[in-house]
Amino acid sequence: MENRMIKTPDEILKIMKAEAMGDMCFSHILDFIKVGMTELEVAGEIERVLLALGAEGLSFPTICVSGTRTEFPHGEPTDKVIMEGDLVTIDMGAVVDGYCGDMTRTVAMNYIRDDQQEVYDVVLRSQEAGLAAVKSGVRCFDVDKVCRDIIADAGYGEYYIHGTGHGVGTEVHEAPTLNTKSDEVLAEYMPVTIEPGIYIPGNFGVRIEDLAIVTDFGIINTTKSCKELIIL
């Protein structure tokens, strides 16, 4: 299994190309998305653009959730209309030469409330700390703990309801797994996601996800899209 977790330079290049498509698509979506559109319209445009950029397929069905529906980490897009004051979470991935990309961004429509801004800032701080903790020889459990402790210390621990990340390759979810039960150790040339989130039932959620390549000196972050809060 470990040999499959560690990717060759050629495999890493394919993953990086897939992630670059995601970045280009996200840049387009920032100009495309408007109040009054439905989640399904935005998800459809994401998938159209990824395929137009040359993706041979999608890593998984595109997630686009808005408003209170951002409380669902794996929510499917619906005909819900995106409204002023909504957060919108987009999770997408292209497939290039059989290898997957995976990225998530959360944006705000027109304005943001103080409670939303606070949660966004906590998630961003957690995500960046998680990325900084990734290095060959580090336990997956410990990366998860870095992210989880920041969220818990801010008072949102009960709302972090999934693991911190996973490996990526020909499947979008591969070993290793970065969570509270993981006994795996990171090694050079493993691609892993770092994607902490906070999901407050009946209110809103925030997730930020990058896809990083593990190295002996830290990471190569293949996801280039802005992570500072974007208000459209």
Digit-coded pLDDT (tens) for 198-219: 999 999 999 999 999 999 999 9
Digit-coded pLDDT (tens) for 88-144: 999 999 999 999 999 999 999 999 999 999 999 999 999 999 999 999 999 999 999
pTM exceeds 0.85: yes
* Three-class DSSP category at 69: helix
Give the integer Cα–Cα distance in Å for 26 and 91.
10
Q: Are strands 63-66 and 87-92 parallel, antiparallel or unpaired?
A: antiparallel
Other beta carbons within 10 angstroms of residue 226's beta carbon come to 12
| Average pLDDT score, the chain | 97
CA angle centred on 19, ends 11 and 79, rounded to 5°: 135
List the domain boundaries for the chain.
2-221
Q: What is the distance between the terminal CA atoms of the chain, rounded to a whole angstrom?
A: 43
Return the CATH architecture of domain 2-221: Alpha-Beta Complex (3.90)
CA angle centred on 23, ends 112 and 197, rounded to 5°: 45
